[in-house]
């Protein structure tokens, strides 16, 4: 049976992914800080499905605990699917954010998924198969809608996913970036935001079910609330058109300073 490791598994998106993957027959490694909730979820999944469930209690902002999860990704039985879901928001704007809290957010939202992907990929590449799901956010594409460093961390997740896909896709590894919009999870309360003031809130079950449809279709980027795939395709075409100028050895004409001839 395939093995999936899910971070941030004790609640929200991570818990729903765990339930859906168990229903698909995956053995699971569940990672989170909350011992009570994680053990309760593990017991629920063992009772509902004929799968094995490991529990790893870890704070991914702590280097030693993060390494314990990395060690599991490098060990047997091999992990076939990594779901990089753990993440947090941060109250306030970039200007007002506490630097210590900002550093912790960067460790969780950027450092941890990067190092876990690195730990997982070595074995996946050696086996010629495997998958990584990176949970980002639509604010990666619209940072002006969500002030602060959070949007930048989610833009990193999108770029990391696209870069990994280009690098290891030809080696048999599938990488999916999932970009949720507003989703009913605990991240809002933890960030000090009133969830009732946010329109268009998607339910977590709907978000994960849609993301798994994208996973089965092997989409590179899945944005569940966007109605038409053509919208993303147009965005990508515009990006590629922009990139066509990156190889020019001289500045574009619009940046050249025209000097009047000397009299």
What is the DSSP code string of 74-87?
TSSSPPSEEEE---
Is the Cβ–Cβ distance between 191 and 89 less than 8 Å?
A: yes
Instruction: Give the residue numbers marked as catalytic.
Output: 150
Distances, alpha carbon 53 to alpha carbons 59, 160, 179, in Å: 19, 28, 27
Distance of alpha carbon 261 from alpha carbon 65, whole angstroms? 67
Element (H, E) at 163: helix 150-168
CA angle 73, 76, 78 (to 5 degrees): 60
- HSE, CB side, 13 Å, CA atoms: give it for residue 193: 20
Is the Cβ–Cβ distance between 85 and 7 less than 8 Å?
A: yes
């Amino acid at each position: 049976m395939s093995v999936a490791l899910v971070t941030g598994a004790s609640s929200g998106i991570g818990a729903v992914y765990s339930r859906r993957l168990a229903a698909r027959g995956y053995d699971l490694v569940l990672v989170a800080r909350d011992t009570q909730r994680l053990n309760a979820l593990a017991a629920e999944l063992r009772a509902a499905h004929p799968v094995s469930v490991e529990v790893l209690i870890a704070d991914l902002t702590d280097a030693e605990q993060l390494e314990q999860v990395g060690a599991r990704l490098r060990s047997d039985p091999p992990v076939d699917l990594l779901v990089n879901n753990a993440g947090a928001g941060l109250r306030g704007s970039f200007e007002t954010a506490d630097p210590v809290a900002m550093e912790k957010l960067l460790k969780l939202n950027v450092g941890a998924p990067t190092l876990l992907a690195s730990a997982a990929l070595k074995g996946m590449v050696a086996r010629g198969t495997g998958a990584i799901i990176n949970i980002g956010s639509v604010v990666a594409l619209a940072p002006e809608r969500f002030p602060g460093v959070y949007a930048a961390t989610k833009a990193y997740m999108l770029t990391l996913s696209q870069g990994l896909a280009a690098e290891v896709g030809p080696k048999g590894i599938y990488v999916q970036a999932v970009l949720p919009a507003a989703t009913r999870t605990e991240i809002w309360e933890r960030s000090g935001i009133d969830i009732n003031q946010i329109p268009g809130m998607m339910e977590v079950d709907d978000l994960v079910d849609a993301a798994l449809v994208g996973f089965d279709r092997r989409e590179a980027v899945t944005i569940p609330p966007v109605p038409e795939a053509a919208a993303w395709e147009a965005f990508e075409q515009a990006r590629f058109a922009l990139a066509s100028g990156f190889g020019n050895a001289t500045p574009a004409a619009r940046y050249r300073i025209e000097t009047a001839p000397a009299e």
